Amino acid sequence: MAEDFNVTLNEAQYYTPDTECKKNSWLGDYEKRYQEFLADPDAYWEAIARELDWFSEWNQVKTWNYPHAEWFCGAATNITYNCLDRHVFNQRRNKVALMWRGEDEGEERVFTYKQLYQAVNRFANGLKKLGVGKGDRVCIYMPVVPEQIIAMLACARIGAVHTVVFGGFGVNALHQRITGVGAKVVITADIGVRRGKAITLKNIVEEAVVNAPSVERIVILRRDDPKIELHSEMEIDYHDLIKGASSECEPEAMDAEDILFILYTSGTTGSPKGIVHTCGGYMVGAYYTAKYIFDIKDNDVYWCTADPGWITGHTYGVYGPLLTGATSLITETTPDYPHPGIWWSLIEEYGITVFYTAPTAIRMFMRTGEEWPNRYDLSSLRVLGSVGEPLNPEAFEWYYRVIGKERCPIVDTWWQTETGMHMITTPIGEPMRPGFAGRPIPGVIADVVDQGGNSVPPGQGGLLVIREPWPSMMRTVYGDEERYARYWNTIPGCYTTADLAVKGDDGYIMVIGRTDDLIIVAGHNIGTAEVESALVSHASVAEAAVIGIPDPLKGNLIKAFVILIDGKEPSEKLKNELVYHVRMTLGPIAIPSSIEFVDSLPKTRSGKIMRRVLKAIELGMDPGDISTLED
């Protein structure tokens, strides 16, 4: 458990970037800001909220009935009003909001704020024609194309709740999410493009909507030539839907606490959790961090490489940059296709100034060598961000030196689907400590504690918790209050992150990894339970256990231990079949890198698989306390 480990912290080594950037930053001095927040937390958040537009103001900044918080109580707004109208009717009407780049050179689409506003309104009116209204759930299963973002914003415009499902998920995962939220409409595309190949999405949707009685219509963006046939009972073409639709659509007045979206994240047991975020608090959190942590200014060109199918894409690919009135790039590209220099070429071509990516990508680039980034002019870069898993010191150093040329601060941002926004980082201009994400941002109170919620001394490992509510915190797990309550009652008085961490003498926090059965593969959160149940659903499998094996590139790889049903023989062919089976049910992101056939699995007396023991054996480590082991 957490108390079992101690970390030897080397003497603190800091990288201190150019202080000019701190002087001119939106956040300014970290300490000063943090003290300002502590002096009056509600007033601090209220001042941030006042930077945005509201149709009517709150009568109270926050109410806190443990474990339920409400923020900006009684206020009304619409996030798209703040993402679009506010800019269109002010200075940014003709500013570029969104640039999209496909895989092929020259394949580009650009939207000014005005054009994005019109496209969103048109599609919002189209959705209304299908009978979608406030509170209805809409599932978006699309590749990274402008329409994916337009669809999200169109839902928000009319008060419909979007559930975006990453295009790399398979049939079961999609079905589970569609039925989980009871989606009325599914929005998809015929294909996504990856490494020069068309990946069909529509056939996956066709299977996923079987036995999903809530689904009334499927909207399909047809990209391929010739156009695929549609089945008119259910399916409608994206462009047919918006034909003749007005480019004006009144934004629905949303209560601050109305649901904005539901986004699924892997659970430690059973099914994934539908994390619920609301209109007011989430908007304030996304805006605040995009502006004050990434320090987005009007002449920045911002690029977040995450797919909007993940929370990073929601907050920092879509809502955050638009709320700040930024120009941002989205791409359907893969980091190493057609060559490992593609991303650096895009930084040069678009003059990217603020760049946000994941450690797994950075480590991949380290392998392909400095010569790739060195071919391009990266001098436009100003701020480098990282998210998804710990940024190890070697990757930090490489990112800082090779990409940032020792000029750019690295903001390693720790947060979660549940937190909605950045929580722990090192704001620009502050001394950076490789291996440590940093300190809680002003507005957040984080700590490293023991099981009882008591702070542990510096250098001692413990559980990372958040002590006070914050505006963009999840409000519930959709349809599962009990699962929500567990976040706040596992450690008394605290929100449990389920991450292990260590705090240094300087208050900097090093995040070490998960305490639970989640495996972070290439920055994606995958539940052992999901992979195990996918394996067990194969006719030859009796039982399965899945663990994460540390990997220098992807952070972790999935290893599966499988017990076959009597009469089935282990074979290479069967291994391939199982991998294929997981690919089809959960999608390519969840496939095991290796499968081992075994006769038994270590279990507790109560029958729980002890993955910890499997992992220790696999890594040649001491399995620790095995007193609860069955035999």
Contact residues toward ligand WT7 (CB under 6 A) are 265, 311-312, 387-390, 412-417, 437, 497, 499, 511, 514, 520, 525
CB of 462 vs ligand WT7, minimal distance in Å: 15
Spatial separation of the C-alpha atoms in residues 592 and 558, rounded to whole Å: 5
Decide whether 526 or 614 has the Cβ nearer to ligand WT7.
526
Decide whether 202 or 514 has the Cβ nearer to ligand WT7.
514
Q: How far does the chain reach from its first CA to its final CA, in angstroms?
A: 21
Peptide bond preceding 338: is omega within 30 degrees of 0, i.e. cis? yes
Confirm if 300 and 382 have CB atoms less than 8 A apart. Answer: yes
Spatial separation of the C-alpha atoms in residues 81 and 253, rounded to whole Å: 10
Among residues 431, 327, 378, the alpha carbon closest in space to that of 21 is found at 431
Decide whether 485 or 589 has the Cβ nearer to ligand WT7.
589
CB of 347 vs ligand WT7, minimal distance in Å: 21
- Helices 528-536 and 572-585 cross at an angle (nearest 10°) of 120
Compute the Cα dihedral for 188, 191, 193, 195 and give only its sign: positive
Decide whether 191 or 510 has the Cβ nearer to ligand WT7.
510
CB of 70 vs ligand WT7, minimal distance in Å: 23
Give the contacts of 190 (CB within 8 A, at least 6 positions apart): 200, 201, 202, 220, 221, 222, 223, 224, 227, 228
CB of 528 vs ligand WT7, minimal distance in Å: 14
CB of 312 vs ligand WT7, minimal distance in Å: 5
Between the alpha carbon of residue 180 and those of residues 131, 177, 459, the distances in Å are: 20, 5, 42
- Helices 41-49 and 279-292 cross at an angle (nearest 10°) of 90
Decide whether 25 or 312 has the Cβ nearer to ligand WT7.
312
Decide whether 118 or 476 has the Cβ nearer to ligand WT7.
476
CB of 276 vs ligand WT7, minimal distance in Å: 14
Spatial separation of the C-alpha atoms in residues 403 and 550, rounded to whole Å: 25
CB of 570 vs ligand WT7, minimal distance in Å: 33
Confirm if 393 and 435 have CB atoms less than 8 A apart. Answer: yes
CB of 415 vs ligand WT7, minimal distance in Å: 4
The DSSP code sequence of 90-114 is TTTTTSEEEEEE-SSTT-EEEEEHH
Decide whether 258 or 412 has the Cβ nearer to ligand WT7.
412
Decide whether 329 or 500 has the Cβ nearer to ligand WT7.
500
Decide whether 388 or 461 has the Cβ nearer to ligand WT7.
388
Find how far residue 419's CA is from the centre of its chain: 10
Decide whether 154 or 387 has the Cβ nearer to ligand WT7.
387
CB of 473 vs ligand WT7, minimal distance in Å: 13
CB of 249 vs ligand WT7, minimal distance in Å: 31
Between the alpha carbon of residue 348 and those of residues 353, 363, 398, 575, the distances in Å are: 10, 21, 19, 43
- Helices 113-129 and 146-158 cross at an angle (nearest 10°) of 60
In residues, how long is the chain? 631
